[in-house]
C-alpha cells in the first residue's frame, strides 16, 4: 500500500513555492523524499526556504517572476540546464486583487490573469519536453494546477479577477488533460478552501468566524490536508485520474 503513494526521487517543480500553500506543498514533498524545485519572485525568500528544507531533504531554489514571459523562459531554461525529466509540475503561483465592481482597475485584472492563468498555460507548454522525458511505462508525468473554491462558487468579496481566473483554471485543467492524455501526462487540479496564509490573512480577519461557521468540518485547512491531496495526485495511486478537480476545503463548496 505504501508504494501507491510513493513519490521518492520524483522531480517536482512548485511555482510560488516559497510561502503559503506553495510552502506547504514543498515541505510535504521534501518530507516524502522527492527532489523539490521551488520558484518564486522573491529570490531571498526562495533561497532561504530551500536552504531550510535541504537540511532534511532535497530542495533547490529557482527564483523567477512568472508574471512575465522573460520569467517563464528563464525558469524553463533553468529546468533544461538541470537535465533529465520533470515528473511533476505544480502550477501554484498566484495573485489576487480586490476592488468594487464599479472601480475595478484594468491593471489589477491584468496582473491577476497574467499570473493565475496565462503563466500556468505557457509554463506548462514550454515544459512539455521535460515532462515528456519523465514519462515511462506505467509512469505518467503530472501537472497539478492549484485553483480555488472561488472558481467553483462566487466568493463573498470583490475579487472579480481572481474568481474568474480560477474558474478558467478549472476548464484549462480539463482541456489540457484531454490534449495530453495520449502522451501519458495527467493534468488535475486542487481547489483549496481557506488556509491560513499571507494572501488570506486580511480576509480571515474580516470574515473568519463566518467561514468557520459555514465550513462543515469547522476549521481551516492545515498543511497536511493540501500536502496529502497533492501527493495523491503525484503518485501511482492516481494513475487513472485526469481532468479532475478535487476541492480541499472542509466541505465548504460541496456540503456547506
Helices (H) and strands (E) in the chain, counts: 9, 7
Spatial distance between the Cα atoms of 211 and 233, rounded to a whole number of angstroms: 27
Beta-sheet strands, E only, within 62-127:
88-91
**Rounded CA gap, 199 and 20, in Å?**
8
Residue 162 bears catalytic tag = yes
Residue 63: which residues within 8 A CB-CB, separation 6 or more? 39, 40, 41, 42, 43, 46, 47
Pairwise CA distance, residues 84 & 72, whole Å: 19
Is residue 203 within 8 Å of 2, Cβ to Cβ? Answer: no
Residue of 160, 162, 195, 232 with catalytic role: 162
CB contact at 8 A, 122 and 72: yes
129 CB contacts (<8 Å, ≥6 apart)? 80
**CB-CB contact of 51 with 27 (8 Å):** no
Report yes or no: 142 and 88 within 8 Å, Cβ to Cβ: yes
160-199 burial, b if ≥16 CB within 10 A, otherwise e? bbbbbbbbbbbebbbebbeebeeebbbbbbbbbbbbebeb
The residues annotated as belonging to the active site are 162
Amino acid at each position: 500500500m505504501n508504494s501507491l503513494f510513493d513519490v521518492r526521487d520524483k522531480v517536482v517543480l512548485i511555482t510560488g513555492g516559497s510561502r503559503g500553500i506553495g510552502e506547504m506543498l514543498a515541505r510535504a514533498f521534501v518530507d516524502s523524499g522527492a527532489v523539490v524545485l521551488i520558484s518564486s519572485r522573491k529570490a531571498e525568500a526562495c533561497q532561504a526556504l530551500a536552504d531550510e528544507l535541504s537540511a532534511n531533504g532535497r530542495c533547490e531554489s529557482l527564483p523567477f517572476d512568472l508574471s512575465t514571459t522573460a520569467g517563464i523562459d528563464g525558469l524553463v531554461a533553468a529546468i533544461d540546464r538541470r537535465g533529465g525529466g520533470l515528473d511533476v509540475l505544480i502550477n501554484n503561483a498566484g495573485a489576487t486583487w480586490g476592488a468594487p465592481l464599479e472601480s475595478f482597475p484594468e491593471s489589477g485584472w491584468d496582473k491577476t490573469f497574467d499570473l493565475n492563468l496565462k503563466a500556468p498555460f505557457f509554463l506548462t507548454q514550454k515544459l512539455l519536453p521535460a515532462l515528456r522525458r519523465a514519462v515511462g511505462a506505467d509512469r505518467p508525468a503530472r501537472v497539478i494546477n492549484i485553483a480555488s473554491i472561488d472558481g467553483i462558487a462566487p466568493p463573498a468579496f470583490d475579487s472579480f479577477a481572481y474568481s474568474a481566473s480560477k474558474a478558467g483554471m478549472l476548464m484549462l485543467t480539463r482541456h489540457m488533460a484531454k490534449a495530453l492524455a495520449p502522451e501519458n501526462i495527467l493534468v488535475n487540479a486542487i481547489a483549496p478552501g481557506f488556509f491560513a496564509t499571507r494572501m488570506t490573512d486580511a480576509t480571515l480577519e474580516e470574515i473568519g468566524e463566518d467561514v468557520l461557521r459555514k465550513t462543515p468540518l469547522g476549521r481551516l485547512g492545515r498543511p497536511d490536508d493540501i500536502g496529502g491531496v497533492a501527493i495523491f495526485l503525484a503518485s501511482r495511486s492516481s494513475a487513472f485520474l485526469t481532468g479532475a478537480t478535487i476541492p480541499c476545503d472542509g466541505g465548504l463548496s460541496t456540503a456547506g
